């Protein structure tokens, strides 16, 4: 990708579902871009194209500043449907090229056909790079074994303080091969902001609980974190998390409260 991969981006799940919320959602994304959160993650599934449309409006006039990521349905993963799905996403986003295009989760279409089509989209200039989402180690090993599969650039998975299963094998597997891991639902659907240990740490540091949970993820080099925020206040809070420094004592406390995995766990999804 020609643009830098930032550590902190913006998610758009549940955006584009209500017309009344559109102006606020566009304003939130624009503020995030102004604050330097220049990666925006969306999907054709979100609002059935509605979120992509919101993103398209938000990035109008500043396309060159933004890393745009979208995802396609597994049932659109064959050649004919994938070519059409990509064109549909580009129309919604009002752009000519996607920076990163992800298979949303594993489906019935053979990986070889999907990868060949993604490579075709790269050759056509429709996408710059491609990746996957919700792929565990066995899926990744199968993926990189097909022709062109070694070009996978990213794997977007559920990862946060409360859901650390990927640390046992998937995260190091990806890191060893230079495949970027994107952490979705970094606040565990909001539950982490109410966890007593996170709340206590936040009170001691005089920051919102969400910033503690995000800062814990952001302290890991190479990770891309994509919290969603549809209000201006939440966008500012998310951006400020990048400046929060967790000291060794705090990290140790969080490690005891949310211990890392000591065995293989099935990959979690939401």
Q: Which residues are catalytic?
A: 46
Residue with token string 């919101």? 54
* Torsion sign (Cα): 109, 111, 113, 115: positive
If one counts every other C-beta atom within 10 angstroms of the C-beta of residue 73, the result is 16
Are 79 and 88 contacting, i.e. CB atoms less than 8 angstroms apart? Answer: no
> Tokens 């996607």 belong to which residue?
98
Find where tokens 């050759």 sit: 123
φ/ψ (deg, to 5) at 10: -135, 135
- Cβ atoms of 11 and 184 within 8 Å: the answer is yes
DSSP states of 165-225 as a string? GGGTTHHHHHHHTTPEEEEESTTTTTGGGG-HHHHHHHHHHTS-HHHHHHHHHHTSTT-EE
């Amino acid at each position: 990708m020609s643009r830098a991969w930032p550590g902190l981006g913006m998610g758009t799940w549940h955006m584009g579902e209500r017309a009344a919320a559109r102006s606020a959602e566009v304003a939130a994304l624009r503020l995030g871009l102004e604050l330097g959160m220049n990666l925006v993650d969306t999907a054709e599934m979100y609002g059935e194209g509605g979120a992509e449309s919101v993103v398209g409006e938000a990035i109008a006039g500043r396309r060159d500043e933004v890393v745009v990521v979208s995802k396609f349905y597994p049932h659109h993963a064959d050649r004919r449907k994938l070519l059409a799905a990509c064109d549909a996403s580009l129309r919604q986003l009002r752009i000519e090229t996607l920076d990163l295009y992800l298979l949303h989760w594993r489906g019935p279409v053979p990986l070889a056909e999907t990868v060949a089509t993604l490579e075709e989209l790269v050759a056509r200039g429709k996408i710059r790079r491609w990746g996957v989402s919700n792929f565990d180690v066995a899926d990744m090993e199968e993926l990189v074994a097909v022709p062109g599969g070694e070009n996978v650039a990213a794997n977007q998975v559920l990862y946060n303080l409360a859901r650390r299963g990927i640390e046992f094998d998937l995260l190091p597997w990806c890191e060893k091969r230079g495949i970027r891991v994107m952490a979705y639902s970094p606040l565990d659907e909001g539950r982490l902001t109410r966890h007593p240990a996170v709340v206590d740490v936040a009170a001691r540091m005089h920051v919102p609980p969400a910033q503690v949970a995000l800062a814990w993820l952001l302290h890991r080099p190479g990770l891309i974190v994509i919290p969603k925020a549809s209000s201006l206040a939440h966008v500012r809070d998310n951006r400020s998390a990048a400046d929060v420094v967790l000291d060794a004592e705090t990290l140790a406390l969080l490690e005891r409260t949310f211990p890392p995995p000591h065995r293989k766990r099935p990959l979690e999804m939401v």
